[in-house]
Amino acid sequence: MKWQVGRVTITQFIEIETIGGKEYILPQATPEALRRLEWLRPQFADDDGRIKMSIHSFLVETPTRRIIVDTGIGNDKQNRRIPGWNGRNGPFLRDLAAAGCPAETIDTVLCTHLDVDHVGWNTTLAGGRWIPTFPRARYLMGRTEFERYDEKPNPSRDAIFDDSIRPVTDAELVDLVDPGHQVCEEVSLIATPGHSPGHLSAEVESQGQQALLVGDVAHHPCQLAHLDWSSTIDYDPAQSTRTRHDLFGRLAGTPTIILGGHFVGGTIVREDNAFRLAV
Ligand SMILES: [Zn+2]
């Protein structure tokens, strides 16, 4: 899918789509509960109340920049907790090239946060070594997120650091950034903590039009209707709820397009005591 925001074009590149089976991260999102939210169908849930999600990246093309926001799972990774995320051989780079943006033309990579499903294509395997996928890009990572990797040894996170983060820091391609960072004239970063402590969202504004790339502020639109349905993988579930409340409250009724890390499209509308996504 593609969105036009003034002079900025945003294109979604899907790596994995799933129906059902993700309820473990949103235990309150049972089929019964999802069926009650009729507006979720058909885009975000099926008729049986099974949750629809995707893992994807966005290509954000401004008049001067080519930015990739979040880099999915990646190919050839190992030691991932979810079996289907190991040893993948997906067409992401071919899709990008077919869209007229081969990897070497990307000048910026932005990771909203540094979880496994947002950093994978930072690197590719070449001759047994992990090398930066986007050799001419600056990789923007939140300082707070990056420093989290020093907190304590954790075998699964260490594997992610070693194959998807360390190779780009070793190549001196990483810029650690803070909320408020202006990526270019049309794109800036805001703090949206909760899912992770240093989680960033990207605001896009051009010619009076806006979009917000919210990463994992919400994993699924059902969390707009139930702000307190925090994901079991949220670092600080109470903060994650507050961030949704404040952010979606600020955007409700505006034409800002919301693009999530695992769902896309729509504007925020107030409904009952919370919100829904209007597509
Ligand atoms: Zn995610």
Tens-digit pLDDT profile for residues 79-88: 998 999 999 9
Please tell me the pTM assigned to this model.
0.96
Dist CA 57 CA 90 (whole Å): 13
Q: In the beta sheet, which residues pair with residue 131?
A: 124
> Nearest Cα to 113, choosing from 156, 78, 157?
157
Residue 23 has pLDDT above 80, yes or no: no
Retrieve residue 82's tokens. 């979810």
Dist CA 166 CA 187 (whole Å): 26
Output the pLDDT for position 265: 86
User: What domain range includes position 105?
Assistant: 2-278
Q: With beta carbons less than 8 A apart as the criterion, state whether 132 and 141 touch.
A: no
Q: With beta carbons less than 8 A apart as the criterion, state whether 210 and 107 touch.
A: no
Number of domains in the chain: 1
| H-type alpha helices, the chain | 31-35, 92-98, 143-148, 155-160, 166-170, 222-225, 237-251
Read off the pLDDT band of 20 (50, 70, 90): confident
Q: With beta carbons less than 8 A apart as the criterion, state whether 22 and 51 touch.
A: yes
Give mean pLDDT, residues 102-122: 97
Instruction: Write down the residue that tokens 């395997």 correspond to.
Output: 125
- Ion ligand 1 neighbours (CB, 5 A) are 117, 216, 261
Q: Which amino acid is at 47?
A: D
Q: With beta carbons less than 8 A apart as the criterion, state whether 7 and 211 touch.
A: no
Give mean pLDDT, residues 62-80: 97
Kindly give the distance from the C-alpha atom of residue 120 to the centroid of ligand 1, in angstroms, as a whole number. Answer: 11
Output the pLDDT for position 194: 97
Instruction: Write down the residue that tokens 């829904």 correspond to.
Output: 276
Kindly give the distance from the C-alpha atom of residue 219 to the centroid of ligand 1, in angstroms, as a whole number. Answer: 7
Q: Which amino acid is at 265?
A: G
Any idea how long the chain is?
Answer: 279
| H-type alpha helices, 172-268 | 222-225, 237-251
Kindly give the distance from the C-alpha atom of residue 117 to the centroid of ligand 1, in angstroms, as a whole number. Answer: 5
171-229 pLDDT, tens digit each: 999 999 999 999 999 999 999 999 999 999 999 999 999 999 999 999 999 999 999 99
Output the pLDDT for position 21: 77
Residue 22 has pLDDT above 80, yes or no: no
Kindly give the distance from the C-alpha atom of residue 230 to the centroid of ligand 1, in angstroms, as a whole number. Answer: 13
Q: What percent of the chain has pLDDT over 90?
A: 92
Kindly give the distance from the C-alpha atom of residue 215 to the centroid of ligand 1, in angstroms, as a whole number. Answer: 7
Output the pLDDT for position 154: 81
Give mean pLDDT, residues 61-71: 98
123-168 pLDDT, tens digit each: 999 999 999 999 999 999 999 999 987 777 788 888 999 999 999 9
Kindly give the distance from the C-alpha atom of residue 115 to the centroid of ligand 1, in angstroms, as a whole number. Answer: 7
State the chain's mean pLDDT as an integer.
95
Give mean pLDDT, residues 97-115: 97
Kindly give the distance from the C-alpha atom of residue 114 to the centroid of ligand 1, in angstroms, as a whole number. Answer: 9
Instruction: Write down the residue that tokens 């702000």 correspond to.
Output: 227
**What CATH number corresponds to the domain at position 11?**
3.60.15.10
